[in-house]
Amino acid sequence: MNAVTTFFESISPVYQWPVKFCAATTLVVWILSVLTSNVSQVDRLWTFLPTIYTAYYALLPLWPQEPLFPLCPYTPRDLGWTIVRDFSPRALLMFGLVFIWMCRLSYNTHRRGLFRLQDEDYRWAVLRTKIPPWLFQVVNLTFIAVTQSILLLSLAFPTKTAAVMQPHDHLVLSDLLLAALALVDLALEFTADNQQWAFHSYKHAYLAREKGKSDVEPYDKTQHWPGARLDFTPEDAKRGFITRGLWAYSRHPNFFCEQSFWWIITFFPLLAPAPPHFPFTPTPHHLIPPLTAIRENPYVLIPLLRLLLAPLVDFLPALSLSLLFFSSTLFTESISKGKYPREYAAYQQRVGMFSPLRTWEKGLLLSWQGRRKAVEELVWGRGEKAGKQE
């Protein structure tokens, strides 16, 4: 116990409470996953943890200097009075945006039923069938519980930079532009979620009617959010996956917007006028050792590399999230392609995984190959790409 206390006391004051809270939540979700044989415990916390960590940094002046109860937020005395005497407007703005992000994700998670303790993400069930049980438990501990928990903590580091390392000055133009961009991004992500939900409602109602079931309510597009009232067709239901609306321009517009949101959050402190911000400085030629010295001892490059790579540390949380989404999307698409081999292969040929620019490039390539019409008929039926909206 003393060793654990010593370890946490050795952590920098700015990270002490978040690391303690992260360690506790990681332990809890891992134990629950083992006891319940359900590894989606961290998925249920995904919508809340980045908001909790962001709130901690944005609201530092509110917390006591000593924890009032176990895991109670606090600001260590070593953090300094100048940091906690007032709020950072930039950090508060970032927290407000993350709070809106949490509301959107919580709504969609609740609607999909993932807050029910017995429900588990379907991808974990597929993964169980592909690897031995002992290896799955290793993945559960190292990746699902530990790695994802650390990643969710790191998403609050841009807010930490704004609240702890930058002066608490008034907002500047970059803050306002990034905030507007973040709101547009969240609106697009909300629309993509709703379009997918509307499609599955239509698909479920259509297939139930085809099977002669009368206990399923018919699809009524007016009951869905604006932007999601698409004119789906029987071809769409038989295809099995959505290809209309925003999904006509990106195979995963919700994932694209999710990554974009955290990249936007990353740039708030980096584009601020006060350091530490992104250094647009020339290469420090005076630190470049001569070639003969490099040949004799390559380690002389370490100071130069450390200086050049230091700014990239600020991008690690968003970059790590993008790498996670890319790898998990590859796995998700392998499942979809297994269910719909011909149709989903055509969708991959015509529409980009994330960026709409890739969709435009793929369209040009298919036109040059003379296969565009045939592929688009598999993807959109009559070729009506985006569908109609009210």
Predicted confidence (pLDDT) at residue 301 exceeds the cutoff of 80: no
Q: Which residue has the tokens 């841009």?
A: 158
Is the domain of 206 the same as that of 355? yes
Which of 169, 198, 228 terminates a domain? The answer is 169
Cis-peptide, bond into residue 276, ω within 30° of zero: yes
Residue 130 structural domain: 1-169
Is the domain of 102 the same as that of 19? yes
pLDDT digits (tens, 9 = 90+) for 21-30: 999 999 999 9
Residue 346, CA atoms < 13 Å, CB-side half-sphere? 20
pLDDT digits (tens, 9 = 90+) for 31-69: 999 999 898 888 899 999 999 999 999 999 999 988 888
Is the domain of 141 the same as that of 198? no
Q: How much is the pTM?
A: 0.89
Is the domain of 145 the same as that of 273? no
Is the domain of 161 the same as that of 217? no
pLDDT digits (tens, 9 = 90+) for 206-264: 998 888 777 778 888 889 999 999 999 999 999 999 999 999 999 999 999 999 999 99
Is the domain of 102 the same as that of 9? yes
Is the domain of 301 the same as that of 342? yes
Is the domain of 122 the same as that of 262? no
Which of 169, 189, 214 terminates a domain? The answer is 169
Is the domain of 176 the same as that of 154? no
**Over 103-148, what HEC string results?**
HHHHHHHHHHCCCCCCCCCHHHHHHHHHCCHHHHHHHHHHHHHHHH
How many residues are recorded in the chain? 390
How many folded domains does the chain comprise?
2
Predicted confidence (pLDDT) at residue 377 exceeds the cutoff of 90: yes
Which of 147, 169, 191 terminates a domain? The answer is 169
Predicted confidence (pLDDT) at residue 78 exceeds the cutoff of 90: no
Is the domain of 63 the same as that of 209? no
Is the domain of 201 the same as that of 325? yes
> pLDDT confidence of 279, banded at 50, 70, 90?
low
CA distances from 1 to 23, 66, 69, 72 (A): 14, 19, 18, 19
Q: Which amino acid is at 290?
A: P
Category of 276 on φ-ψ map: left (φ > 0), alpha (ψ -120 to 50) or beta: beta
Is the domain of 234 the same as that of 162? no
Nearest C-alpha neighbor of 153 from the set 48, 257, 230: 48
